[in-house]
Chains A and B, each alone.
Chain A
């Protein structure tokens, strides 16, 4: 997943930092809500005029509106801080989404996801390094692209960067390539899923295993169906949980070659890199399972999660600047793109193979 980098100088007071968030937050809310209104308006119009028209989810409208704004008039600086919180809302939304899962289902599907993730990560990391050598990329840039495309996109790159002592430039290339590929997968995955007539569970698992950033994986799942979105989040969360182990592996590898600092406390390293929202998700799921919430309260929590995702999807469109991504050079993008296609095909094959275990 991408970052929640809130670029605020240290000398600013908390009040000023909070005020700086307001314009961007309002923009996220306006774009997301506009997407919801468009979906409802089209549905109401087609229903009242007896027109058969496929329902286009607010997710797509919010992303498209955001993309148009950021790539035409651009996003003024005053909005940047608030828009950057979209990842924050994603994490809060994922924690709240735990209320829609029984813990047994989480462990069942999460277990399947983890097994598939382990296979996919091993093969995709190997493949990415072969590709990196073939395209003559710098080894650390290849490492960053490999963790980005195998684990959880931009946040995996950010977690790995200081651990393997990679250059800022390499990190920027890898992040740009992963963001561009994430934007492409948003539009291609649902089309492929529908053309292959994948079930909601199979598609959700595929999106969760193959799409890099958590925001894009959540959106790609929700674009298919509500049920697919739910499964995509769970599969992606399982994948995110492994980030610390992979980054630790790379840190040990590069330090053994004398090109990164040695990891002295591995447990502390793993905890530092572990995405904490996974624990929040499991806690809410446990509480829902033991009957801590009533049915109407569970509905409220699920709706709260959807409102949080609405802000996230608006942010996905608003932060994607296609011109900026185009400036980053073709080779990292080519390696990332070929790697993504490989990972998409590999995980699709794995999901087909595991389909009869998907009894969520």
Chain B
């Protein structure tokens, strides 16, 4: 597992940006009340 991971730095970068984009999109949907309140 580790060496497979080590060989993919580019993929890591895109996953990083995608995670940020998804979180910001979720925050926007919450702000616009497009998704119901999230319970824990």
Contacts and interface: CB of A to CB of B under 8 A. Distances in A.
| Dominant secondary structure of chain B at its interface with chain A | helix
**A: interface residue count bin:** 35 or more
Contacts of A2: 5
Given A3-B8, A5-B11, A306-B40, A171 B20 contact: no
A321 B1 CA distance: 10
Nearest to B39: A303
Contacts of B40: 303, 306-307
A157 B6 contact: yes
B2 A176 contact: yes
B13 A91 contact: no
Nearest to A179: B2
A296 B37 contact: yes
Interface residues of B, number: 31
A171 B3 contact: yes
Contacts, number: 120
A169 B12 CA distance: 20
| Dominant secondary structure of chain A at its interface with chain B | helix
A306 B9 CA distance: 27
Contact of A96 (B15, B27, B35, B37): B27
A280 B5 contact: no
B24 A283 contact: yes
Interface of A: 2-7, 87-89, 91-93, 95-96, 99, 154-155, 157-159, 161-162, 168-169, 171-172, 175-176, 179, 272, 275-277, 279-280, 283-284, 287, 292-293, 296-297, 299-301, 303-304, 306-308, 319, 321, 324
6 contacts: A4-B11, A4-B19, A7-B4, A168-B6, A176-B2, A301-B38
Lowest 9 A-B CB distances belong to which pairs? A95-B23, A91-B19, A5-B5, A280-B20, A175-B2, A4-B15, A3-B5, A171-B6, A92-B23
